[in-house]
Chain A
Amino acid sequence: DGGITQSPKYLFRKEGQNVTLSCEQNLNHDAMYWYRQDPGQGLRLIYYSQIVNDFQKGDIAEGYSVSREKKESFPLTVTSAQKNPTAFYLCASSMGAGRMNTEAFFGQGTRLTVV
């Protein structure tokens, strides 16, 4: 089935550690996105990529890094510089910049907790 797969579903991180969240899509979409959701709040954009080997910072990029070496993959690294990383992280994809009228498809999310 086509879709977006995020792993792991739950992730625990010790303070000072870097962790990487995986996001894979088989929808042949050009664009991919990472959002952060805090309890009772909306989704805030961390990073997005409109095409392979290119990505842009979103509204809250500090303390995060990404790569886009393959079309189907857009991993997010939460670094030790992120002061409050406990949150729900959602990955999404869409057809790309030339198709603004198309919806984004979302993964099931990764819940990250700092212990």
Chain B
Amino acid sequence: AQKVTQAQTEISVVEKEDVTLDCVYETRDTTYYLFWYKQPPSGELVFLIRRNSFDEQNEISGRYSWNFQKSTSSFNFTITASQVVDSAVYFCALRDTGRRALTFGSGTRLQVQP
């Protein structure tokens, strides 16, 4: 069965600090896909990034970067120089061939204080 764990329930930082959100996943499949979504107060989920299981290349996009490590089943997300607008709930999600719908973690609420 698929499972996604986000151990950090809530993180509070001061603006311009770097912050890393942790995600650990479980799956029996060798082919799977990982996603990060952002949920602002409005409620709609906004897609941020996806990674497939055979591409461990890490990526930087502006202030965002992602660290995917198959050996530890982790897919962590880092925001550099955080801003107040980054305040939201962030979800990690997994899709594998066993169930093609996304399985979500419980989310991490990020509060960036000015």
The interface of chain A, by Cβ under 8 A from chain B, is: 31, 33, 35, 40-45, 48, 50, 58, 88, 90, 92, 97, 100-109, 111
* B residues less than 8 Å from A31 (CB atoms): 100-101
- B113 interface residue per 8 A CB criterion: no
Interface string of B1-45 (1 = CB under 8 A from A): 000101001000000000000000000000101010100001111
In the complex, the number of residue pairs spanning A and B with C-beta atoms less than 8 Å apart equals: 60
A65 vs B106: C-alpha distance when bound (angstroms): 24
CB distance from B93 to the nearest CB of A (A): 8
* B residues less than 8 Å from A105 (CB atoms): 47
Of all chain A residues, which has the CB nearest B44? A108
Of all chain A residues, which has the CB nearest B45? A106
Q: Is the CB of B43 within 8 A of A45?
A: no
- Which residue of the partner chain, among A33, A101, A107, contacts B102 with CB atoms under 8 Å? A33
- B50 interface residue per 8 A CB criterion: yes
- Which residue of the partner chain, among B4, B44, B97, contacts A106 with CB atoms under 8 Å? B44
Of all chain B residues, which has the CB nearest A105? B47
The interface of chain B, by Cβ under 8 A from chain A, is: 4, 6, 9, 31, 33, 35, 37, 42-45, 47, 50, 52, 91, 95-97, 100-107
Known interface pairs A97-B100, A100-B97, A100-B100; A107-B44 also in contact (CB < 8 Å): yes
Q: Is the CB of A103 within 8 A of B47?
A: yes
Q: Is the CB of B105 within 8 A of A104?
A: no
A101 vs B55: C-alpha distance when bound (angstroms): 12
Q: Is the CB of B35 within 8 A of A103?
A: yes
* A residues less than 8 Å from B102 (CB atoms): 33, 43, 45, 92, 104
A50 vs B97: C-alpha distance when bound (angstroms): 13
A50 vs B101: C-alpha distance when bound (angstroms): 9
Q: Is the CB of B107 within 8 A of A41?
A: yes
Of all chain A residues, which has the CB nearest B43? A109
* B residues less than 8 Å from A90 (CB atoms): 43, 45
- Which residue of the partner chain, among B31, B35, B100, B107, contacts A42 with CB atoms under 8 Å? B107
